[in-house]
């Protein structure tokens, strides 16, 4: 087996282990390349089906094309899609684009808070209804106890220390120095009431591996990643006020693979395009301790 086959097999194993062990499981789908690969791997793990519901946190500042893409594939692949949002903060304009928050505070509100309360079921969830094609508002949903996330260890320092199955306490907090023992593909699948677990099937993948896999599997990926004329493309997707395209003329997946393997990005970290990481160099570790993904 080559490197990609090994990575794929391990991720599928983790997904199935999660599905076997957790009753209330959800998978985060940001529409970006990593979580879309994750979704693809889930369809591999479950033989074409997607039995695990997907959760998208909509900050309302996502690039509109992302929402179109999301809804299109949710319908096509019959996904059980749930959307969560911090409606209050948006109404009160407590955001960075409204000049009422720093970038980090804004992330905390629109992503971490929204995620936390949507997972717990305290805030209403919008659920895609495949019969009407519309979203139904569902209140009082059950809390999700297992959350599958597409984090990769190569993204940033604190992520390199993650476990495949990583417990979080009642407050969503990550205790980095007391991580569970994990060996021989036996993961933390038992947990005390009130705690939950983050599951990271993509931990061992690099950005290059992700694109190589997209190429090999021919996974439909959102067009924002490609240069469509202006000599610019997105390398990582987020909210438009805080994510900037990079200079690149890669027009398709194989050109991106080339660019990462030996071209201009072979030595440049992916997150260099994200503004919020720069405010404080350990900002991401702090955010992550509080439940940011």
Partner 1 sequence: MNIVVIGHVDHGKSTVIGRLMADTHSLPEGKLEQVKARCARDARPFEYAFLLDALKDEQAQGITIDSARCFFRSAQREYIIIDAPGHIEFLRNMISGAARAEAALLIIDAKEGVQENSRRHGYLLSMLGIRQVAVCVNKMDLADYSQAVFESIRDEYRAFLQQIGVEALDFIPCSAREGDNIVANSDRMPWYRGPSTLDIVDSFAKEQDTIDKPFRFPVQDVYKFTESGDDRRIVAGRIETGSINVGDEVIFLPSGKRSKIASIEGFNVPVQTGACAGQSTGFTLTEQVYVNPGELMCKASDTPAQTGTHLAVNIFWMNRQPMIYNKKYKIKLAGARMPVWLREVVTVLDASELTTNSNRQQIERHDVAECILETLKPIAFDLTTEIAQTGRFVIIDNYEIAGGGVVLKAVESATNRVTERVQQREQRWQRSTITPQVRSTRYNQRSTLVLICGPANTGKEKLAKALEEDLFQSGRYVYYLGLSNSSLSMDVTESGERDEYIRRLGEVSHLFTDAGLILIATISDLDDYELETINTLNQPSDFRIINVGPNRFSRTQVDLQIDELNDIPAAVQEIKKLLTAQRYLIEYYL
* Residue ranges binding partner 1 (CB under 8 A): 1, 3, 5-6, 8-10, 12-13, 16-17, 19-20, 23, 43-49, 51, 78, 153-154, 156-158, 160-161, 163, 176-177, 179-184, 186, 188, 190-192, 203-204, 206, 217, 267-269, 281-282, 285
Give least dist CB 198 to partner 1, A: 15
Smallest separation, CB 192 to partner 1 (Å): 5
CA atoms within 13 A on the CB side of 67: 14
Q: List helix spans (H) across 22-63.
A: 33-45
Find out whether 51 and 43 touch, Cβ atoms under 8 Å: no
Q: Toward partner 1, which CB reaches closer, 62 or 188?
A: 188
Using the minimum distance from each CB to partner 1, give the nearer residue, 105 or 206: 206
Q: Are strands 125-128 and 135-138 parallel, antiparallel or unpaired?
A: antiparallel
Q: Which is nearer to partner 1, 64 or 184 (CB)?
A: 184
d(CA 144, CA 118): 9
Q: Choose between 50 and 114: whose C-beta lies nearer to partner 1.
A: 50
Whichever of 101 and 246 has its CB closer to partner 1, that residue is 246
Q: How far is CA 118 from CA 111, 241, 254, 258, in A?
A: 10, 23, 37, 39
At residue 215, φ and ψ (nearest 5 deg) are -65, -50
Smallest gap from Cβ 209 to partner 1, in A, equals: 8
Neighbours of 281 (CB within 10 A): 9
In the complex with partner 1, the residue whose CB is nearer, 24 or 94, is 24
**What beta strand segments (E) does 92-230 contain?**
125-128, 135-138, 146-148, 165-168, 196-199
The CB-of-219 to partner 1 minimum distance in angstroms stands at 9
CB of 100 to partner 1, least distance (A): 28
CA–CA gap between residue 190 and residue 193 (Å, rounded):
10
Q: How far is the CB of 284 from partner 1 (least distance, A)?
A: 10
């Amino acid at each position: 087996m080559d490197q990609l086959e090994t990575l794929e097999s391990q991720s599928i194993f983790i997904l199935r282990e999660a599905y076997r062990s957790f009753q209330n499981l959800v998978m985060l789908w940001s529409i970006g390349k990593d979580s879309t690969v994750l979704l693809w791997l889930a369809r591999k793990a479950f033989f074409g089906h997607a039995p695990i519901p997907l959760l998208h946190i909509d900050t309302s500042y996502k690039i509109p094309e992302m929402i179109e893409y999301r809804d299109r594939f949710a319908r096509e692949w019959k996904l059980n899609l749930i959307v969560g949002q911090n409606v209050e903060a948006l109404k009160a304009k407590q955001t960075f684009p409204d000049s009422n928050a720093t970038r980090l505070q804004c992330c905390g509100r629109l992503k971490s808070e929204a995620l936390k309360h949507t997972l717990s079921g305290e805030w209403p969830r919008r659920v895609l209804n495949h019969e009407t094609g519309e979203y139904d508002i569902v209140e009082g949903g059950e809390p999700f106890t297992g959350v599958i996330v597409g984090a990769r260890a190569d993204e940033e320092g604190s992520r390199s220390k993650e476990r495949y199955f990583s417990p979080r306490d009642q407050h969503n907090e990550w205790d980095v120095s007391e991580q569970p023992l994990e060996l021989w593909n036996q993961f933390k699948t038992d947990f005390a009431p009130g705690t939950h677990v983050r599951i990271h099937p993509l931990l061992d993948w690099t950005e290059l591996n992700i694109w190589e896999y997209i190429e090999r599997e021919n996974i439909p990926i959102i067009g924002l990643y490609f240069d469509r004329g202006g000599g610019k493309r997105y390398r990582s997707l987020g909210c438009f006020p805080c994510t900037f395209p990079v200079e690149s003329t890669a027009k398709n997946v194989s050109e991106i693979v080339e660019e990462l393997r030996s071209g201009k990005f072979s030595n440049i970290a992916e997150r260099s395009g994200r503004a919020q990481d720069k405010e404080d160099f350990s900002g991401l570790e702090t955010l992550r301790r509080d439940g940011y993904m």
